[in-house]
């Protein structure tokens, strides 16, 4: 499948269109995405939101902070590009082929559900031999599900999983969140 990137030339950030395309093509092949992907980078903001719309073409809209080197502002990081594009493309793949067809749109997910799904994606990316900071994702998960043994067990279950469905992921997230509610 083809991957296209917009803009062709970056004016505000030192990003490489060809690198984004190469990373995207590798991920699309690895993840088995069966339709073209168009990546639109908003280089006017240093924020890091990334979104996808699934139609005949998957359109990924990226704020440039998602691909930026955290130690060198306005410079691209191949690792950040791979991890963040990988996370959104895994969610796309989940929705297309992985038992997540009935998952609500991203904007309708609770913060806990999004943290759970992100944990599930980051764990799978780590098994693709990407350098993933597990502690970062654990902290994010704990912030949404509580700092407890039950939340840590739910995190471990999501991190190690390879083929969850939306009902399974929602159940794991809910059980960790229920523990948080009970502690309040």
CB atoms within 10 A of CB 151: 24
> What is the CATH topology of the domain spanning 3-97?
Zincin-like (3.30.2010)
Angle at 71 between CA 66 and CA 74, to 5 degrees: 55
In this structure, are residues 75 and 14 in contact, taking their beta carbons and an 8 Å threshold? yes
Rounded to an integer, what distance in angstroms lies between the CA atom of residue 51 and that of residue 92? 10
Question: How remote is the C-alpha of 99 from its chain's centroid?
Answer: 17
Q: Please write the tens of the pLDDT for every residue from 62-103.
A: 999 999 998 998 999 999 999 999 999 999 999 998 899 999
Res. 131 pLDDT band, cuts 50 70 90: confident
Residue 184 clears pLDDT 70, i.e. is over it: no
d(CA 142, CA 136): 10
- Mean pLDDT rounded to a whole number for the chain: 93
Where are the chain's structural domains? 3-97, 106-183
Residue 85 confidence (pLDDT): 97
Q: What does the alpha-carbon distance between residue 116 and residue 109 come to, in Å, rounded to a whole number?
A: 10
Global model pTM greater than 0.85: yes
């Amino acid at each position: 499948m083809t991957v296209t990137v917009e803009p062709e030339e970056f004016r505000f950030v030192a990003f490489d269109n060809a690198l984004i395309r190469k990373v995207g093509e590798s991920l699309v092949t690895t993840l088995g995405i069966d339709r073209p992907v168009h990546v639109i980078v908003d280089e006017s903001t240093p924020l890091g939101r990334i979104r996808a719309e699934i139609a005949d073409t998957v359109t990924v809209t990226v704020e440039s902070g998602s691909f930026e080197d955290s130690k060198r502002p306005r410079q691209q990081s191949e690792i950040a590009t791979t991890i963040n594009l990988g996370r959104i493309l895994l969610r796309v793949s989940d929705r297309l082929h992985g038992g997540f067809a009935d998952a609500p749109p991203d904007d309708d997910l609770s913060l806990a559900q999004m943290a759970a799904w992100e944990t599930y994606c980051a764990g799978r990316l780590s098994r693709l031999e990407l350098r993933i900071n597990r502690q970062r994702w654990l902290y994010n998960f704990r912030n949404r599900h509580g700092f407890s043994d039950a939340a840590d067990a739910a995190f471990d279950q999501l991190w190690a999983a390879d083929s969850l469905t939306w009902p399974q992921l929602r159940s794991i997230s809910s059980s960790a969140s229920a523990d948080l509610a009970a502690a309040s």
